[in-house]
Amino acid sequence: MVRVSLVVIAAFCAGLSLGVYHSGTSPASPEDTRAADLAAIEKLHKADVDATLTQDPSLLNNLWSEDAVKLDVPGAPVVGRQALSEMYAKFRTNYPDFRVEKYAPAISEVQIVDGWAIEVGTFAASFKMSSKDSPVNVNDKGVRVLKRQSDGSWKFAVVGLK
């Protein structure tokens, strides 16, 4: 039988307790993770409203993940940030006086799983194609799929409104 010194046992227990209780590196609870995700998603929502109201192409493009898909456009879906950037630039060239007067997304549900989020909501907006045109009001329903980025932020991965 091997005798273990009380000093060795005490040192082991002390090290174990310091590692568990003092380090503060215990895994985050699911509630903490969800709260952090929802806060980051809310930051994306605010950036979405700001970018949409200003119609700044670079701000609009920054909302999207690298492999994003925009379904709610005429014609074929727009796939990838580069294609989205080109779409925004072309639209700006074709409609230089386009203005968004109101944009009010109302997200009714968000489900988050494994770095992906699905949100459902309504999207009320008012815009003018040119300064001489009357405002056009829309009230769309839709689903957006969000993707958590490596820095913890969220970006749009798939958007489809109707």
Q: What is the pLDDT of residues 46-55, one digit of tens each?
A: 999 999 999 9
CATH 3.40.50.9100 at 29-161, yes or no:
no
pLDDT of 6:
39
Task: Give me the chain's average pLDDT, please.
Answer: 87
Single pTM value for the model = 0.80
pLDDT at 69 over 90: yes
Give the start-to-end residue ranges of the domains of the chain.
29-161
Tens-digit pLDDT profile for residues 107-159: 999 999 999 999 999 999 999 999 999 999 999 999 999 999 999 999 999 99
Q: What integer is the mean pLDDT of 65-90?
A: 95
**Cα 34 to Cα 39: distance, rounded to the nearest angstrom:** 9
% of the chain beyond a pLDDT of 70: 83
Task: Give residue 27's pLDDT.
Answer: 63
Distances (CA, A) of 147 to 2, 81, 119, 158: 55, 14, 11, 9
